[in-house]
Structure 1
Amino acid sequence: MVYIIFGVSGSGKTSIGKKVAERLALPFYDADDFHSKENIYKLKNGISLTDEDRWPWLEKLALEIKKWSQANGAVLACSALKISYRELLASKSVVLPIFILLDGTYVAIKERISQRTGHFFDPALLQSQFDTLELSKDILRVHINSSVEEVVNKVLMKIQTTQSQLGLIGLGVMGSSLAQNMLSKGFSVSVYNRQVAEVEVDVAKLFVESLADQTKVKGFDQLVPFIQSLQKPRSIMLMVNAGKPVDLVIKALLPHLDLGDCIIDGGNSHYQKSIARSQFLKEHQIEFIGAGISGGQEGALKGPSIMPGGSEKAYNVSGKFLEAISAKDRNEKPCCTFVGPEGSGHFIKMVHNGIEYGEMQLIAEIYYLLRFYITLTPPEISEVFSKWASNGKSSFLLDISAKILQKKEGEGYLIDKILDKAGQKGTGGWSTVAALDLGMPVSTISESVMARNLSGMKGERVEAAAAYQLKNSTFQGDRDAFIQDLEEAYHLGSIINHSIGFDLICKASEEYQWQLNLSEIARIWTNGCIIKSELMQEISELFKREEQKTILRFPDIVTRVISTKGSLQKTVSEALSLGCPVPVLSAGLNYLLTYTSALASANMIQAQRDFFGAHTYQRNDQPLEKFFHTDWEE
């Protein structure tokens, strides 16, 4: 930023400006040093300058201001008495300079001038300067009826109020929506977006122009002025693509930040990357928060669920902003909480997305079964989903699925024109890899990822269908009874999927010593995010009420599972007999059957391992610390 200390001659522009520059660690310039010899001659001889005299001087200063704003900023002492003069000074700068008027009475300033020595200004010209002075709404006014030090402090306080409380880098769909959310909560915001010829041009400028009524937003396409526009300690949210772009932005920011500033990565970064970035920035005494954000474009605009992980010091700097822009739960508490140490926020977001994958696939399988094997129309399936939602099974994903099935295009339904090839951004797969690292089963999550991968083999599937010519069957039984079983199967499948996700979180918390609060995590997922549901509300209450870490072990859930297990078995059996693939419903059932079996098939696996690799085994009739090997061919 360039700060222009202005006022009539003798108001203290130079002395105050120098001290302000020193406090801000910026270079100081005096506009009088840029006057032409002709102007100085006139001023020394009591001849008032005309606008014709001033325009070249102001033009020259405008170019200097542009250079200073492109560097590290500056403080300039300049009379700038007319509005037109100030407009010209600001005309070439990318970032509008801030004008601070040193305001004093004619009598007081005349007394000051009379005591000055060695200055070319003729005191007789003072009245003409007061007559010329024009005020405007965009200036900051500081009265000079106190000591120099007190005036300097007043100026710095005024400057602080003009700086933005929050900074945001990256004005894509999520970034621009979050920026508007911040502004709607009353925060002043600076936004930055890079310039890429023919790809990203004037993005920040256009964003600011689109918010014509908003006075608390500043747009930048240069990084240094953006950083300097922020209050300290700075809170800067990154909304750029995960991976290398995050590291590049951090590298660019680092030389210009001050100790205690906080960077918030709000993208879908891998939790291990967040741990590494946090440790790197800690060495430079810069705070870091890896914040998972869920809710899509609408959530970002109106209030998402936010999952910040980092140091408590970092959360003390930036947490208040994150809580303010988040969604609110049924008790009006923010759907944002300090999750835990470095990496935990993005780990939680990763698992959120894993659960999301499972929930989406469950609904997709049920839609497919109802549509092509029970032969319901899209509106009829929409009605089924809406009824389930009214029966206590409402969720964001079930609700939007009901709406999707109502959407028509021409005479047909849009769902029938969408290519059956699912996209993904990798976070579901990350959950699967993390589970493997931690030795945890994530059957429904991993199967939902595999289902998307298999859907991506569209060309090969078409060829295989032609080669096999398999004839699938149509359901011939009691449709109403089957749909009732299907409702219970869906609910139980969802319970199992959620339990698997929370078990993974619990295991990571123990492994990494994060001490995560499962009830709080579930609570911040009750609104604003993609997996918000009535079930999530219940899970939050269960974790809060009982000392239990596995959803499937809560007494209320055990009772429900026992009463609905038969419906899940019937559904999976009937679907497979009809030739309908239900990978996640099947995985959920297999997980449940294995989880609730005191005796599993793993004894055969251990015998096989010992047979071909002498890996040893334990015995159920011997102490578990003992291991045995058998020569199986003797």
Structure 2
Amino acid sequence: MIIIVTGVSGSGKTTLGSLLAKKLRLPFFDADDFHPPANIQKMSMGIPLTDQDRLPWLEHLADSMLQWENSGGGILACSALRENYRETLQVVPKIIWLHLKGSKELLHERMNNREGHYMKPGLLDSQLETWEEPEYGMHLDVSKTPETLLEEVMQLDEINACESHFGVIGMGVMGKSLALNLAENGIPTAVYNRHVPGKEEKIASTFATTNQEFPLLKGFDNLEAFIGSLAKPRKILLMIPAGAVIDQQIQQLEPMLEKGDIIIDGGNSFFEDSTRRFRALSEKELHYIPMGVSGGEEGARKGPSMMPGGNKEAYDIIAPYLKKIAAKDASGKACVSFIGPDGSGHFIKMVHNSIEYAEMQVLAETVHLMKYGLKLSYPEISKIMKSWGTEGLKSYLLDITVEILTVKEGKNFLLDLILDKAEQKGTGGWSLTTALKYHVPYSPLSEAVTARLLSSQKEDREELAGLYSHRFGAFAEDKVILLEKLKNAYTLTRIINHEVGFNLMHQVSEQENWNLDFSEISRIWTNGCIIRSSLMENMTGLFKENSSLLKTKAIKTKVKELRFDLAYIIGLGLQHAYALPVMSAAANYLFGRITSDSSANLIQAQRDFFGAHTFQRKEDPTGGYYHSDWKN
């Protein structure tokens, strides 16, 4: 939507334009700001501009309007006194023209009351003489209050019937939050939710009605009407459960869509399913963008991290919209980037969630050791962890843990009232099966999944705890020294968690020829997503010249410094009956990864002994395979 507010100086273009911009959540632009210095100097001296003066200014405005149109629209306050000026600005197909008119006396009074403006009151006569009355658009009487004029404009059919630039299907928590984010950022947005009698009725229309402060938001309970409301090429964001539901929704949409329309899957679909859908829809000349979205409800509403894959041409069409609603990194750049072909966008979201699982688990292990081993209270643990955030360990998950530890319900801490059964939605398990498929070691992150599975067996755990009289032991060591070692163990485990996840991305990228950019992936994960942290910010630079964190100079120094503290804490914890799955697996992964002479030679000997599977010899540079008659 492009709205141009015209009129001579003093008519209130800026006032009305600003009110409209706020109401419609669109950016406001004042044409006066686009004048070159020479024009401003002439007007400051009371010298009227010539058509030759105005032409470069109008052409600059026209070029800018094309950019605004591609990113959702805007409101422009511009005198546009003559019809040929307005024709120069008619570069987009749909412009809503608002023409402000008033008596010479009123306009002159307003100009005299303005302070610091370069347009001199003496130029008003020249502007009124130049003004050519347009026969189109909405004509407004400036003697009315700006608020009254705003109400009149908002009744225009062109505004209320404008096509939506984006459509969202699925009014769950994430779908609603993203829809409001789009509308708040000036993007006309249509929403639709399925109709299920007695269960889901008028979800979308009710949602739009209850959010009337967003006039660019429209709700539809009929799929055909929803599709018909969208500007072409249609851009449809699916925020519905992964699996067969996605295929069913695509099947419903296909007959209503046209060549070049874009379907964006913003859910947590399995990347292999996304690759299949991408290729099938490409054959039908429809675009399919598998897009990971991270940040939860708050991130979706205020700015998520987004990971779109699929087709670069289609991404370029939706990129201006995504950049508007995305979180911003430290330099102000949007946390969204084209990831790569096929289902790569969903693939890296899957890995993101896997790292998230491990990060949550290592925090749980750390708090557990503090509570039972060091006998610290929740407020004490919260205070210690908060200080860690100022010592290079800041992360979103650490921050929320600090808050969780202090929340009380009555006299009890809420954490102690929560049943210790962790649930999951599947992405962690998908990462593990993918790692196995591509032969990539993944133990620390897979242990986080296993820990959740074990926790879910609450009744069985309670029975076995009674049988074994299991109790956590308290640590006798110096608390100050132990806290430093525990912080170091936590620090190194986090580094290894990220190394494991990014190593999976690296190996799959090479095998699938995706050419993933790990520095850019790290950058879009510095804000908006759940695993955002100071470590991720550092990784943006580290991955510019390296494919592995363990091969960077900075991380190598950290590993050498912290590895023995990690081993110490694991040993201490195990001696006192604490399960430390992610910490233990991280240490095993690290020592296994940096060991030149492993125990695997015995495994190969055993395999050859019982199955004649053969083995390679150290001294053979050709890599040939041998078999031995072990019984002789």
- TM, length-normalised to structure 2: 0.75
User: For 2:194, what is the secondary structure of its paired residue?
Assistant: coil
- Mapped to 1, the partners of 2:328 and 2:316 lie a distance apart of 20
1:625 is displaced (CA, Å) by 2.5
Aligned-CA RMSD value:
1.8
Q: Do 1:160 and 1:231's aligned partners in 2 also have CA atoms closer than 8 Å? A: no
1:317 is displaced (CA, Å) by 2.1
- Mapped to 2, the partners of 1:520 and 1:236 lie a distance apart of 26
1:438 is displaced (CA, Å) by 0.7
1:297 is aligned to 2:297: yes
| Match of residue 489 from structure 1 | 489
Post-superposition CA distance 1:294-341 (Å, at most 9, x none): 000000000000000011111122222222211000001110000000
| Match of residue 618 from structure 2 | 620
Aligned positions of 1:436-447 closer than 5 A? 436-447=436-447
Larger radius of gyration: 1
Q: 1:209 to 1:160 in 2, by over 3 A?
A: closer
1:506 is aligned to 2:488: no
1:244 is displaced (CA, Å) by 0.9
- Mapped to 1, the partners of 2:453 and 2:152 lie a distance apart of 62
- Mapped to 1, the partners of 2:474 and 2:299 lie a distance apart of 40
Structure 2 residue identity aligned to 1:296: G
1:553 is aligned to 2:551: yes
Structure 2 residue identity aligned to 1:467: L
Q: Do 2:274 and 2:346's aligned partners in 1 also have CA atoms closer than 8 Å? A: yes
Structure 2 residue identity aligned to 1:575: G
Aligned positions of 1:234-249 closer than 5 A? 234-249=234-249
Structure 2 residue identity aligned to 1:623: P
Structure 2 residue identity aligned to 1:265: D
- Mapped to 2, the partners of 1:161 and 1:509 lie a distance apart of 45
Post-superposition CA distance 1:77-132 (Å, at most 9, x none): xxxxxxxxxxxxxxxxxxxxxxx9xxxxxxxxxxxxxxxxxxxxxxxxxxxxxxxx
Post-superposition CA distance 1:38-86 (Å, at most 9, x none): xxxxxxxxxxxxxxxxxxxxxxxxxxxxxxxxxxxxxxxxxxxxxxxxx
- Mapped to 1, the partners of 2:153 and 2:529 lie a distance apart of 42
- Mapped to 1, the partners of 2:375 and 2:231 lie a distance apart of 61
| Match of residue 369 from structure 2 | 369
Structure 2 residue identity aligned to 1:214: F
Post-superposition CA distance 1:328-381 (Å, at most 9, x none): 000011100000001100000000001001100000001111111211111111
| Match of residue 332 from structure 2 | 332
Q: Do 1:262 and 1:317's aligned partners in 2 also have CA atoms closer than 8 Å? A: no
- TM, length-normalised to structure 1: 0.75
Post-superposition CA distance 1:245-272 (Å, at most 9, x none): 1111111111011110000000000000
User: For 2:236, what is the secondary structure of its paired residue?
Assistant: strand
1:593 is displaced (CA, Å) by 0.8
In the alignment of these two chains, the number of paired residues is: 485
1:138 is displaced (CA, Å) by 6.6
1:201 is aligned to 2:166: no
| Match of residue 592 from structure 2 | 594
Structure 1 residue identity aligned to 2:281: L
1:271 is aligned to 2:277: no
- Mapped to 2, the partners of 1:527 and 1:330 lie a distance apart of 8
| Match of residue 219 from structure 1 | 219
- Mapped to 2, the partners of 1:624 and 1:369 lie a distance apart of 50
| Match of residue 608 from structure 2 | 610
Structure 2 residue identity aligned to 1:578: H
- Mapped to 1, the partners of 2:571 and 2:305 lie a distance apart of 37
- Mapped to 1, the partners of 2:412 and 2:444 lie a distance apart of 33
1:409 is aligned to 2:426: no
| Match of residue 450 from structure 2 | 450
1:280 is displaced (CA, Å) by 1.0
- Mapped to 1, the partners of 2:470 and 2:162 lie a distance apart of 70
1:160 is displaced (CA, Å) by 12
Q: Do 1:305 and 1:327's aligned partners in 2 also have CA atoms closer than 8 Å? A: yes
1:197 is displaced (CA, Å) by 1.8
Q: Which moved more, 1:308-317 or 1:393-402?
A: 308-317
| Match of residue 529 from structure 1 | 529
1:139 is displaced (CA, Å) by 6.9
1:137 is displaced (CA, Å) by 5.2
Structure 2 residue identity aligned to 1:625: G
1:195 is displaced (CA, Å) by 1.1
User: For 1:328, what is the secondary structure of its paired residue?
Assistant: coil
- Mapped to 2, the partners of 1:244 and 1:318 lie a distance apart of 25
- Mapped to 1, the partners of 2:400 and 2:624 lie a distance apart of 55
- Mapped to 2, the partners of 1:514 and 1:551 lie a distance apart of 20
Q: 1:401 to 1:139 in 2, by over 3 A?
A: closer
What are the ranges of 5 or more consecutive residues in structure 2 without an aligned counterpart?
1-95, 97-150
- Mapped to 2, the partners of 1:205 and 1:261 lie a distance apart of 24
Structure 2 residue identity aligned to 1:564: L
- Mapped to 1, the partners of 2:445 and 2:510 lie a distance apart of 21
- Mapped to 2, the partners of 1:471 and 1:519 lie a distance apart of 45
Q: Do 1:394 and 1:534's aligned partners in 2 also have CA atoms closer than 8 Å? A: yes
1:472 is displaced (CA, Å) by 3.2
Q: 1:345 to 1:160 in 2, by over 3 A?
A: farther
- Mapped to 2, the partners of 1:191 and 1:391 lie a distance apart of 44
Structure 2 residue identity aligned to 1:246: I
Structure 2 residue identity aligned to 1:553: K
| Match of residue 321 from structure 2 | 321
Q: 1:228 to 1:484 in 2, by over 3 A?
A: same
1:448 is displaced (CA, Å) by 0.4
- Mapped to 2, the partners of 1:181 and 1:299 lie a distance apart of 10
- Mapped to 2, the partners of 1:282 and 1:497 lie a distance apart of 36
Q: Do 2:271 and 2:346's aligned partners in 1 also have CA atoms closer than 8 Å? A: yes
Post-superposition CA distance 1:192-216 (Å, at most 9, x none): 0111122211111111111122211
Q: Do 1:382 and 1:403's aligned partners in 2 also have CA atoms closer than 8 Å? A: yes
What are the ranges of 5 or more consecutive residues in structure 1 without an aligned counterpart?
1-99, 101-134, 142-157
Post-superposition CA distance 1:483-509 (Å, at most 9, x none): 110001100000001001111001111
Q: Do 1:618 and 1:624's aligned partners in 2 also have CA atoms closer than 8 Å? A: no
| Match of residue 628 from structure 2 | 630
| Match of residue 177 from structure 1 | 177
- Mapped to 2, the partners of 1:190 and 1:490 lie a distance apart of 45
User: For 1:406, what is the secondary structure of its paired residue?
Assistant: coil
Pick one of 564, 568, 575 that aligns with 2:566.
568
Structure 2 residue identity aligned to 1:390: T
- Mapped to 2, the partners of 1:257 and 1:516 lie a distance apart of 31
| Match of residue 463 from structure 2 | 463
Post-superposition CA distance 1:160-185 (Å, at most 9, x none): 98100100000100000000000111
